[in-house]
Amino acid sequence: MKILIVDDEEELASTLAERLSLRGIDGRYALSGDEALRLATEEHFDVAVLDIKMPKLGGIQLKQRLQELRPGMRFLFLTGHGSDRDFEAGVTEVGEKYYLVKPLDIEQLIAKIRDLLRR
């Protein structure tokens, strides 16, 4: 299982990737939409975990670009808040079930990843 985490908060993205790796999940990270697109061009990822609010390319727009590039890729969204406009937009995009609010519970993240891959 290979996961791509995309968040402009480097310490968050890198630590999440490390914690996934400690659990036997191949976790990689990117700090921007452009970097994520480059990585996804070079490698296959099963799931991308996208922060909604990022400079230039936000999570919703990035999902569309990644889907064009890798039609089989699944998505989870991260947000700082559970009640703002971005959240509503993301829920419309992937459903509330595949949305995570910061700060995260890694076991919940992994459960959602596994659930996505079973679909």
Residues in touch with another protein (CB under 8 A): 8-9, 11-12, 15-16, 18-19, 22, 53, 55-56, 80-81, 84, 102-104, 106
Q: Hey, CA dihedral for 42, 72, 69, 5, is it positive or negative?
A: negative
Cβ 30 to another protein, closest distance in Å? 16
Cβ 42 to another protein, closest distance in Å? 24
- Whether residue 80 contacts residue 102, with contact meaning beta carbons closer than 8 Å, is answered with yes
Nearer to another protein, 20 or 48 (CB): 20
Cβ 99 to another protein, closest distance in Å? 14
Nearer to another protein, 84 or 96 (CB): 84
**Measuring CA to CA, which residue among 8, 102, 97, 95 is closest to residue 53?**
8
CA quadruple 62, 111, 31, 10: dihedral, nearest 10: 150
